[in-house]
Chains A and B, each alone.
Chain A
């Protein structure tokens, strides 16, 4: 009992149950063969690409901010790489650094506007989202005359960023796992992580406690925009080309993953493990449906239902965690 109670107080508990629940649902009602599903690459690839963006978006949400400009930063990252290293034939490293710097720059703008104005970051990043879409489309048509640019990356770059392990699993899966471990460590084991939760709990008190509130907020925006352009860069290297479109679905998908993952929309609560599990849940719902007898047109209904159930579960577990005290019974 004690153990179950302890488990339920963890921020990732709801996400873990959602993850198990959706697998169980597909096995029971969709006739999914678990071995098949586990060996399949489609949902893991989706989870990895989404997950690299979902982690910083989730951390921003913990800090009390939102970033939807990532939807434009994924194509921005792949187009920058392809234009610099494909169209202009510069060394791939130039294209990669260009893509990452562009991400960092947009993140810096988002961060500065957020800390300098009282405009909510949802609106600010909505502005940069639309503006970046315009820049990427107009810029690429102006420079290359096309909305799609080919790129031939050298072997080392392919190996590191665009490899298909075993012919099916994208190498970004490893980047995602490494990133998750690193961020999990920073968020849950270091003082910096403690500052993040304080920031999301109450900005004013956090500032009074000497926490560099502005610096951290700007840093988080830089991290999320750069992560998005990193994903775009990897996709360009993998697919040998870049398109100006695509990426918009990531906005919706990261928010679903993060919220299913137990991050509180208003900030101050959440976990990296939860975000990872939320991302996996989302990926299994949307890709796992191809392994079931269920018509895939139903997948959005299942995503919506999962989201609502997960949110309700997270809500009640958080209440439980708030009131949980191991010796409560003995005292009253």
Chain B
């Protein structure tokens, strides 16, 4: 497995915004049929990293390779054309459009001829509904339903099914489970597993260790813009990963210091920095 060429690879990628260095020497590989979990606390640089992969930002230094070949993305469209699909936290971006219509934005199926080429609503609805149902979301039956009326998990699933349908090879999921309840999150995790089974390279961003461990093959922990740890499934326990994310400080230590603080401040927790 590890001798196949990675679909997507980063080599010593730096990203700064003017004087602010956000990413330092990020090197990562993700292969087809593999889920790479990117873990990190808020502000670690996860969003900046995926925006760099999606063509929103250009790396300041370093290179991005696809199938072993160096690539540059000038616009998000360039990354999308290469098969890199990003699904954001809230999935569907067109809440007031129907499932069929939003599924085919920009690539509408048509029927008829010449100037009378019309949007083929029936075909669009059928294909869209079939695509999500093939991912196991059987609750979606009517392609005329508005995307905004779906549950958070269903919307994520629709967005993932859409990316897969249009031939995505790399699927980037930015905190897809963060806003979801337990059941909905399980739904999305199953979809992630299905995308992997279909041979996609998945980059799964999260700060929920349990969710990462449920689907990940390969893990990278990002701390203050640098890769602090890079390991494969089974190499670390949940506690070890949580400790790594907390910046090397063990969670147990953190809890102990919190207790001390509370004792010294009459039971008040520290005020979060605004």
List residues of chain A with CB under 8 Å of any chain B CB: 189-191, 193-195, 197-198, 201-202, 204-211, 264, 268-269, 318, 321-327, 331
Residue contact A324 to B106, C-beta cutoff 8 Å: no
List 12 A-B pairs, Cβ < 8 Å: A193-B119, A194-B104, A197-B96, A198-B94, A198-B102, A201-B93, A205-B94, A206-B105, A207-B77, A268-B94, A269-B96, A325-B142
**Are B108 and A194 neighbours in the complex by a CB distance under 8 Å?**
yes
Tell me which residues across on chain B come within 8 A of A206, comparing CB atoms: 105-106
Enumerate chain A residues within 8 angstroms of B105, measured Cβ to Cβ: 194-195, 198, 205-206, 209, 211
Contacting pair A191 B95 (CB below 8 A): no
Q: When chains A and B are docked, how far (Å) is the Cα of A253 from the Cα of B108?
A: 35
Q: B106 contacts A211, CB within 8 Å?
A: yes
Complex-state Cα separation, A5 to B228, whole angstroms? 55
Interface residues in B50-103 (C-beta closer than 8 Å to A): 76-77, 80, 93-97, 101-102
> Min CB distance, A264 to chain B, in Å?
7
> Which of A189, A206, A209, A331 gathers most chain B CB within 10 Å?
A209
Which of under 10, 10 to 19, 20 to 34, or 35 or more describes the interface residues of B? 20 to 34
Contact of B77 among A190, A195, A210 (CB under 8 A): A210
Query: What distance in Å separates the Cβ of A222 from its nearest Cβ neighbour in chain B?
Result: 19
| B residues at A contact (CB < 8 Å) | 76-77, 80, 93-97, 101-102, 104-108, 110, 117-119, 139, 141-142, 145-146, 148-149
For the complex with contacts A210-B106, A322-B148, 6 further pairs of A-B residues with Cβ separation under 8 Å are A194-B104, A204-B93, A207-B76, A268-B94, A322-B96, A322-B149
Q: Please name all residues of chain B whose beta carbon is closer than 8 Å to the beta carbon of A325 when the two chains form the complex.
A: 142, 145, 149
- Asked whether B77 lies within 8 Å of A208 as measured between CB atoms, the reply is yes
CB neighbours of A201 from chain B (8 A)? 93-97, 102
Q: In whole Å, how far is A61's beta carbon from the nearest beta carbon of chain B?
A: 13
Residues of B within 8 A of A191 (CB): 108, 110, 117, 119
Residues in A with CB closer than 8 Å to B95 are 201, 268, 322
Chain B residues with Cβ below 8 Å from A193 are: 119
A321 to B142, CA, bound (A): 13
Q: Provide the residues of chain A in CB contact with B118, threshold 8 Å.
A: 189-190
Do B94 and A326 touch across chains, with their CB atoms under 8 A apart?
Answer: no
Q: In the complex, how many angstroms separate the beta carbon of B23 from the nearest chain A beta carbon?
A: 22
Which residues of chain B are within 8 angstroms of A322 by Cβ–Cβ distance? 95-96, 146, 148-149
User: How many Å from the CB of B156 to the closest CB on chain A?
Assistant: 15
Shortest CB–CB separation between residue B45 and chain A, in angstroms? 21
CB distance from A5 to the nearest CB of B (A): 12
Nearest CB to that of A206 among chain B residues? B105
B144 to chain A, nearest CB (A): 8
- Are the CB atoms of A197 and B77 closer together than 8 Å? no
Residues of B within 8 A of A269 (CB): 96
From known contacts A208-B76, A208-B80, A324-B149, infer whether A195 and B96 are also in contact, taking CB-CB under 8 Å: no
CB–CB B141/A194 < 8 A: no
CA–CA, A205 to B77, complex, Å?
10
The distance in angstroms between the C-alpha atoms of A326 and B142, with both chains bound, is 8
Closest Cβ–Cβ distance, residue A2 to chain B (whole Å): 12
Measured between alpha carbons, how far is A325 from B101 in the docked complex, in Å?
16
- Closest Cβ–Cβ distance, residue B73 to chain A (whole Å): 12
Residues from chain B with Cβ under 8 Å of A189 in the complex: 118-119
Question: By CB atoms of chain B within 10 A, which of A189, A194, A269, A321 has the most?
Answer: A194
Question: With A and B bound together, what is the CA distance between A201 and B93 in angstroms?
Answer: 7
